[in-house]
Amino acid sequence: MGSDPVSTKRVDHYSYSAYADPAMAASFDAKRFGGPIGQILLEDQERVLTEFLGKVSGKRVLDVGTGTGRAALALATRGAFVTGVDASTDMLAVARARAEAASLSIAFAEGDAHALAFGDRAFHSTVCLRVLMHVPDWRKALSELCRVTESRLVFDYPAVGSVASLQAVWRRAARRLGRNVESYRVLSASAIAQELGRHGFEMTASHKQFVLPIGLHKLINSAPFTRSLERVLADAGMLRLTGSPVTVAADRCAS
């Protein structure tokens, strides 16, 4: 029997090894959501999830790549029955501790986005943030997200037509030269739509976050500056053309 190519990649792929680290898990929230720009990211993420998922109370929701459980906790607070899956046991340990501290009942489990251990259409909605940009096989992961989702799928990706493309090229080159950086892929709306269509889904809504890279905004580290500059760029039409990351809501097509 031949080896599973995704399982083989998992052994040494950065998207698994980078987060299999207690120190990374302990510092992740502060790095991602700390400071004024991190707060903008967190508020924007929760607002878009609320808008795209609507009423979740009493519904089964899956959070794939849950990490330290930010989205999972926000959804559980709104009354959803949440299952959070992540490949990193260290990240899950932080998520469980946060859920316990908040007195929220969330089922966290170790798992791989390429092979989710759930039945077809097991969840009313599925959320997957900051994952497709990193996984070894994004098409396989997206097919699994579609498979387990009954109604609505919400996920994000860095856009190929954005400034993120330049950063992605630089990071891939830096990694090949031995630099300790996380590389990632950028994707096009057409490729996403085509892949969703193969699995019976269609895009129904999208949200573009920034024109300029998040890293640049964090370097400047001023919420008023970021909001003002991004508003000017959006008014000039740049957000519509080059905004990234893109959060997508996709619905299962009527059969």
Pair 120, 148: CB distance under 8 Å: yes
Give the closest residue to 168 by CA, choosing from 237, 244, 106: 244
What value does the mean pLDDT take over residues 67-72?
95
Q: What is the pLDDT of residues 136-167, one digit of tens each?
A: 999 999 999 999 999 999 999 999 989 888 87
pLDDT beyond 80 at 7: no
Average pLDDT in the chain = 90
- Report the C-alpha gap between 39 and 34 in whole angstroms: 6
Confidence of residue 132 (pLDDT cuts 50, 70, 90): very high
Amino acid at 74: A
Give the closest residue to 253 by CA, choosing from 200, 198, 199, 197: 200
Phi and psi at 215, nearest 5°, equal: -60, -40
- Report the C-alpha gap between 202 and 101 in whole angstroms: 38
pTM of the full predicted structure? 0.89
What value does the mean pLDDT take over residues 83-90?
96
Phi and psi at 183, nearest 5°, equal: -85, 165
Pair 67, 98: CB distance under 8 Å: no
Residue indicated by tokens 């892949």: 195
Give the closest residue to 57 by CA, choosing from 148, 124, 155: 124
pLDDT beyond 60 at 1: no
Confidence of residue 2 (pLDDT cuts 50, 70, 90): very low
Confidence of residue 184 (pLDDT cuts 50, 70, 90): confident
Residues 6+ apart with CB under 8 A from 100: none
Proportion of the chain above pLDDT 90, given as a percent: 75
pLDDT for res 214:
87
Please tell me the CATH superfamily of domain 5-157+187-209+244-252, with its number: Vaccinia Virus protein VP39 (3.40.50.150)
- Report the C-alpha gap between 215 and 163 in whole angstroms: 11
Out of 39-53, 156-170, 206-220, pick the least confident. 156-170
pLDDT for res 218:
92
